[in-house]
Protein backbone atom coordinates (compact mmCIF):
# COMPACT_ATOMS: atom_id res chain seq x y z
CA UNK A 1 0.00 0.00 0.00
CA UNK A 2 1.38 3.44 -0.87
CA UNK A 3 1.21 6.02 1.89
CA UNK A 4 -1.00 9.08 1.80
CA UNK A 5 2.01 11.35 2.18
CA UNK A 6 4.45 9.38 0.02
CA UNK A 7 2.42 9.46 -3.19
CA UNK A 8 1.83 12.99 -4.43
CA UNK A 9 -0.19 11.89 -7.45
CA UNK A 10 -2.76 9.83 -5.55
CA UNK A 11 -6.34 10.83 -6.37
CA UNK A 12 -8.11 11.91 -3.18
CA UNK A 13 -11.67 12.89 -2.33
CA UNK A 14 -10.42 16.48 -2.56
CA UNK A 15 -9.15 15.86 -6.12
CA UNK A 16 -12.66 14.76 -7.12
CA UNK A 17 -14.18 17.94 -5.69
CA UNK A 18 -11.66 19.99 -7.68
CA UNK A 19 -12.47 18.01 -10.83
CA UNK A 20 -16.15 18.84 -10.41
CA UNK A 21 -15.35 22.51 -9.81
CA UNK A 22 -13.12 22.56 -12.93
CA UNK A 23 -15.65 20.68 -15.05
CA UNK A 24 -13.31 17.69 -15.58
CA UNK A 25 -15.37 14.45 -15.87
CA UNK A 26 -14.42 11.72 -13.39
CA UNK A 27 -13.77 8.19 -14.75
CA UNK A 28 -14.58 5.33 -12.39
CA UNK A 29 -14.60 1.54 -12.97
CA UNK A 30 -14.97 -1.49 -10.77
CA UNK A 31 -12.17 -3.97 -10.09
CA UNK A 32 -11.99 -6.93 -7.74
CA UNK A 33 -8.48 -8.37 -8.04
CA UNK A 34 -4.81 -7.36 -8.11
CA UNK A 35 -4.00 -7.98 -11.80
CA UNK A 36 -6.94 -6.11 -13.32
CA UNK A 37 -6.74 -3.31 -10.72
CA UNK A 38 -3.11 -2.82 -11.77
CA UNK A 39 -4.10 -2.56 -15.44
CA UNK A 40 -7.03 -0.25 -14.76
CA UNK A 41 -4.97 1.99 -12.46
CA UNK A 42 -2.08 2.14 -14.94
CA UNK A 43 -4.48 3.17 -17.72
CA UNK A 44 -5.40 6.34 -15.81
CA UNK A 45 -8.69 5.66 -14.04
CA UNK A 46 -9.54 8.16 -11.27
CA UNK A 47 -11.59 5.94 -8.95
CA UNK A 48 -11.66 2.15 -8.59
CA UNK A 49 -14.81 0.80 -6.98
CA UNK A 50 -14.54 -2.58 -5.32
CA UNK A 51 -18.24 -3.06 -5.95
CA UNK A 52 -20.47 -5.63 -4.36
CA UNK A 53 -21.14 -6.50 -8.03
CA UNK A 54 -18.28 -8.90 -7.22
CA UNK A 55 -21.13 -11.05 -5.93
CA UNK A 56 -22.39 -11.31 -9.55
CA UNK A 57 -19.28 -11.18 -11.74
CA UNK A 58 -16.74 -12.89 -9.47
CA UNK A 59 -18.91 -15.34 -7.53
CA UNK A 60 -21.77 -15.98 -9.99
CA UNK A 61 -24.60 -15.05 -7.61
CA UNK A 62 -27.84 -13.74 -9.09
CA UNK A 63 -27.87 -10.68 -6.79
CA UNK A 64 -25.41 -8.62 -4.75
CA UNK A 65 -26.96 -9.75 -1.46
CA UNK A 66 -24.92 -12.87 -0.60
CA UNK A 67 -21.41 -11.34 -0.62
CA UNK A 68 -19.93 -11.03 2.88
CA UNK A 69 -17.79 -8.40 4.58
CA UNK A 70 -14.83 -10.83 4.72
CA UNK A 71 -15.15 -11.46 0.97
CA UNK A 72 -15.29 -7.72 0.21
CA UNK A 73 -12.18 -7.18 2.34
CA UNK A 74 -10.38 -9.98 0.45
CA UNK A 75 -11.20 -8.35 -2.93
CA UNK A 76 -10.42 -4.84 -1.66
CA UNK A 77 -6.99 -5.71 -0.26
CA UNK A 78 -6.01 -7.32 -3.59
CA UNK A 79 -7.15 -4.19 -5.47
CA UNK A 80 -5.28 -1.86 -3.10
CA UNK A 81 -2.06 -3.84 -3.69
CA UNK A 82 -2.47 -3.33 -7.44
CA UNK A 83 -3.24 0.34 -7.31
CA UNK A 84 -0.88 3.34 -7.10
CA UNK A 85 -2.90 6.35 -8.25
CA UNK A 86 -6.64 5.79 -8.13
CA UNK A 87 -8.86 6.40 -5.12
CA UNK A 88 -10.10 2.97 -3.96
CA UNK A 89 -13.72 2.91 -2.75
CA UNK A 90 -15.26 -0.26 -1.29
CA UNK A 91 -18.94 -1.19 -1.12
CA UNK A 92 -20.33 -2.02 2.31
CA UNK A 93 -22.17 -5.27 1.60
CA UNK A 94 -25.83 -5.92 2.33
CA UNK A 95 -26.58 -6.40 6.02
CA UNK A 96 -23.45 -4.69 7.34
CA UNK A 97 -24.73 -1.12 7.77
CA UNK A 98 -28.53 -0.89 7.59
CA UNK A 99 -30.49 -0.15 10.77
CA UNK A 100 -27.47 -0.21 13.05
CA UNK A 101 -25.07 2.72 12.95
CA UNK A 102 -22.60 1.11 15.40
CA UNK A 103 -22.50 -2.01 13.23
CA UNK A 104 -22.03 0.23 10.17
CA UNK A 105 -19.05 1.96 11.80
CA UNK A 106 -17.48 -1.38 12.74
CA UNK A 107 -17.94 -2.66 9.16
CA UNK A 108 -16.38 0.48 7.67
CA UNK A 109 -13.45 0.37 10.13
CA UNK A 110 -12.78 -3.27 9.23
CA UNK A 111 -12.69 -2.40 5.52
CA UNK A 112 -10.31 0.54 6.02
CA UNK A 113 -8.02 -1.27 8.49
CA UNK A 114 -7.85 -4.69 6.84
CA UNK A 115 -7.80 -3.68 3.14
CA UNK A 116 -6.05 -0.29 3.13
CA UNK A 117 -8.82 1.21 0.96
CA UNK A 118 -9.55 4.94 1.01
CA UNK A 119 -13.35 5.21 1.30
CA UNK A 120 -16.56 3.21 1.55
CA UNK A 121 -19.80 3.34 -0.43
CA UNK A 122 -23.27 2.43 0.76
CA UNK A 123 -26.74 2.40 -0.76
CA UNK A 124 -29.73 4.45 0.33
CA UNK A 125 -30.88 7.89 1.44
CA UNK A 126 -32.67 9.07 4.60
CA UNK A 127 -32.98 5.51 5.96
CA UNK A 128 -29.18 5.15 6.27
CA UNK A 129 -28.26 8.72 7.32
CA UNK A 130 -27.56 7.56 10.89
CA UNK A 131 -25.05 5.00 9.61
CA UNK A 132 -23.38 7.54 7.30
CA UNK A 133 -23.01 10.11 10.09
CA UNK A 134 -21.54 7.53 12.47
CA UNK A 135 -19.01 6.27 9.88
CA UNK A 136 -17.97 9.87 9.19
CA UNK A 137 -17.18 10.40 12.89
CA UNK A 138 -14.23 8.02 12.41
CA UNK A 139 -12.87 10.12 9.54
CA UNK A 140 -13.87 7.55 6.92
CA UNK A 141 -15.01 9.13 3.63
CA UNK A 142 -18.42 7.91 2.46
CA UNK A 143 -19.81 7.77 -1.09
CA UNK A 144 -23.60 7.58 -1.38
CA UNK A 145 -25.64 5.60 -3.93
CA UNK A 146 -29.22 6.45 -4.99
CA UNK A 147 -31.64 5.47 -7.75
CA UNK A 148 -31.47 1.80 -8.62
CA UNK A 149 -29.85 0.35 -5.50
CA UNK A 150 -29.27 -3.36 -6.27
CA UNK A 151 -29.24 -4.40 -2.59
CA UNK A 152 -32.98 -3.49 -2.57
CA UNK A 153 -33.84 -5.63 -5.59
CA UNK A 154 -36.41 -7.64 -3.67
CA UNK A 155 -38.19 -4.41 -2.69
CA UNK A 156 -38.14 -3.07 -6.30
CA UNK A 157 -38.87 -6.50 -7.84
CA UNK A 158 -37.16 -5.44 -11.10
CA UNK A 159 -34.01 -3.73 -12.44
CA UNK A 160 -35.96 -1.16 -14.53
CA UNK A 161 -35.20 2.60 -14.53
CA UNK A 162 -36.02 4.24 -11.16
CA UNK A 163 -37.53 7.65 -10.32
CA UNK A 164 -39.57 8.07 -13.49
CA UNK A 165 -42.58 9.06 -11.37
CA UNK A 166 -42.51 12.49 -9.71
CA UNK A 167 -42.94 11.19 -6.14
CA UNK A 168 -39.86 8.97 -6.39
CA UNK A 169 -37.92 11.69 -8.25
CA UNK A 170 -38.70 14.20 -5.48
CA UNK A 171 -37.62 11.73 -2.79
CA UNK A 172 -34.35 11.19 -4.68
CA UNK A 173 -33.72 14.97 -4.93
CA UNK A 174 -34.26 15.30 -1.17
CA UNK A 175 -32.07 12.28 -0.38
CA UNK A 176 -29.24 13.70 -2.53
CA UNK A 177 -29.34 16.94 -0.48
CA UNK A 178 -29.41 14.95 2.78
CA UNK A 179 -26.37 12.91 1.74
CA UNK A 180 -24.48 16.07 0.86
CA UNK A 181 -25.45 17.72 4.16
CA UNK A 182 -24.46 14.58 6.11
CA UNK A 183 -20.96 14.85 4.60
CA UNK A 184 -20.75 12.30 1.75
CA UNK A 185 -17.85 13.21 -0.55
CA UNK A 186 -19.59 11.92 -3.71
CA UNK A 187 -22.73 10.25 -4.91
CA UNK A 188 -23.50 7.47 -7.41
CA UNK A 189 -26.79 7.74 -9.30
CA UNK A 190 -27.81 4.48 -10.96
CA UNK A 191 -30.34 4.02 -13.77
CA UNK A 192 -32.49 7.14 -13.48
CA UNK A 193 -33.68 9.59 -16.17
CA UNK A 194 -30.81 11.73 -17.53
CA UNK A 195 -32.73 14.98 -16.91
CA UNK A 196 -33.21 14.20 -13.22
CA UNK A 197 -29.56 13.14 -12.81
CA UNK A 198 -28.36 16.39 -14.39
CA UNK A 199 -30.64 18.41 -12.12
CA UNK A 200 -29.27 16.63 -9.03
CA UNK A 201 -25.65 17.07 -10.19
CA UNK A 202 -26.26 20.81 -10.58
CA UNK A 203 -27.97 21.12 -7.20
CA UNK A 204 -25.21 19.57 -5.05
CA UNK A 205 -21.58 20.64 -4.67
CA UNK A 206 -20.25 17.06 -4.34
CA UNK A 207 -19.38 15.04 -7.48
CA UNK A 208 -22.21 12.93 -8.90
CA UNK A 209 -21.08 9.79 -10.75
CA UNK A 210 -23.64 8.18 -13.04
CA UNK A 211 -24.32 4.68 -14.33
CA UNK A 212 -27.23 4.70 -16.74
CA UNK A 213 -27.86 8.31 -15.67
CA UNK A 214 -26.86 10.21 -18.84
CA UNK A 215 -24.09 12.70 -19.55
CA UNK A 216 -25.20 15.64 -17.42
CA UNK A 217 -23.43 14.34 -14.29
CA UNK A 218 -19.84 14.82 -13.09
CA UNK A 219 -18.48 11.39 -14.00
CA UNK A 220 -19.29 7.87 -15.13
CA UNK A 221 -18.89 4.39 -13.66
CA UNK A 222 -19.24 0.98 -15.32
CA UNK A 223 -18.70 -2.58 -14.16
CA UNK A 224 -15.32 -3.63 -15.61
CA UNK A 225 -16.42 -7.08 -16.78
CA UNK A 226 -19.37 -5.56 -18.64
CA UNK A 227 -17.40 -2.85 -20.47
CA UNK A 228 -14.64 -5.33 -21.39
CA UNK A 229 -17.24 -7.64 -22.96
CA UNK A 230 -16.42 -10.61 -20.73
CA UNK A 231 -20.06 -10.91 -19.82
CA UNK A 232 -22.14 -11.19 -23.03
CA UNK A 233 -25.54 -11.81 -21.44
CA UNK A 234 -25.88 -8.36 -19.81
CA UNK A 235 -27.04 -5.82 -22.43
CA UNK A 236 -28.60 -2.73 -20.83
CA UNK A 237 -28.97 0.36 -23.01
CA UNK A 238 -26.45 2.33 -20.92
CA UNK A 239 -23.61 -0.14 -21.43
CA UNK A 240 -20.88 0.67 -23.97
CA UNK A 241 -18.51 -2.24 -24.67
CA UNK A 242 -14.89 -1.22 -25.20
CA UNK A 243 -13.62 -4.72 -25.97
CA UNK A 244 -14.85 -8.21 -26.77
CA UNK A 245 -12.83 -10.20 -24.25
CA UNK A 246 -15.37 -13.01 -24.40
CA UNK A 247 -14.14 -13.79 -27.92
CA UNK A 248 -10.47 -13.04 -27.19
CA UNK A 249 -10.40 -15.36 -24.15
CA UNK A 250 -12.50 -18.11 -25.80
CA UNK A 251 -10.22 -18.08 -28.89
CA UNK A 252 -7.08 -18.19 -26.71
CA UNK A 253 -8.36 -21.10 -24.60
CA UNK A 254 -9.61 -23.15 -27.57
CA UNK A 255 -6.26 -22.53 -29.33
CA UNK A 256 -4.43 -23.83 -26.24
CA UNK A 257 -6.66 -26.95 -26.06
CA UNK A 258 -6.01 -27.59 -29.78
CA UNK A 259 -2.22 -27.24 -29.37
CA UNK A 260 -2.13 -29.52 -26.29
CA UNK A 261 -4.19 -32.20 -28.07
CA UNK A 262 -2.02 -32.05 -31.22
CA UNK A 263 1.19 -31.97 -29.11
CA UNK A 264 2.16 -28.73 -30.89
CA UNK A 265 2.60 -27.26 -27.39
CA UNK A 266 5.17 -27.29 -25.91
CA UNK A 267 7.65 -27.02 -28.79
CA UNK A 268 11.37 -27.76 -28.51
CA UNK A 269 11.98 -24.09 -27.65
CA UNK A 270 9.40 -24.15 -24.87
CA UNK A 271 11.07 -26.86 -22.81
CA UNK A 272 14.28 -27.32 -20.73
O1 LIG B 1 -21.35 -2.75 -7.14
C2 LIG B 1 -21.19 -2.01 -8.13
O3 LIG B 1 -20.53 -2.39 -9.12
C4 LIG B 1 -21.80 -0.70 -8.12
C5 LIG B 1 -21.80 0.09 -9.39
C6 LIG B 1 -22.84 -0.43 -10.31
C7 LIG B 1 -21.94 1.54 -9.15
O8 LIG B 1 -22.32 -0.29 -7.12
Domains of the chain: which residue ranges? 13-241, 244-272
Cα–Cα distance, 74 to 169 (Å, whole number) = 36
Low-confidence ranges of the chain (pLDDT < 70): 1-8
Is residue 188 lining ligand 1, measured as CB closer than 6 Å?
yes
Question: Taking the domain 13-241, which CATH number applies?
Answer: 3.20.20.60
Residue-level pLDDT at 129: 98
Is 30 touching ligand 1 by the criterion CB < 6 Å?
yes
The pLDDT score that the predictor gives to residue 104 is 98
- Residue with the nearest Cα to atom 1 of ligand 1? 51
Any atom of ligand 1 within 6 Å of the Cβ of 123? no
C-alpha of residue 49 to centroid of ligand 1, in Å = 7
Q: Which residues pair with 27 in a beta bridge?
A: 220
pLDDT in the model for residue 232: 86
Question: For residue 129, which of 84, 91, 98, 92 has the smallest C-alpha distance?
Answer: 98
Q: Which long-range contacts (CB under 8 A, 24 or more apart) does 67-74 make?
A: 67/93, 67/94, 68/93, 69/93, 69/96, 69/107, 69/110, 69/111, 72/111, 73/110, 73/111, 73/114, 73/115
Question: What is the structure's pLDDT at 119?
Answer: 99
Q: Indicate which residue's Cα is closest to atom 2 of ligand 1.
A: 51
Give the span between the Cα atoms of 134 and 164, in whole angstroms: 32
Amino acid sequence: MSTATGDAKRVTTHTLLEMKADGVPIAMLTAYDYSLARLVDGAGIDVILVGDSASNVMAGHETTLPITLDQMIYHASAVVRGCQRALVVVDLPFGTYQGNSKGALNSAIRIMKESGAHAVKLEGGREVIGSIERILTAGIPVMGHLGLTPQSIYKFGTYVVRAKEEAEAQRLREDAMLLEEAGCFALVLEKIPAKLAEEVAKSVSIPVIGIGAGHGVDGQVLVLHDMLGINKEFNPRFLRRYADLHEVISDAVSGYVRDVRSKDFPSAKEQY
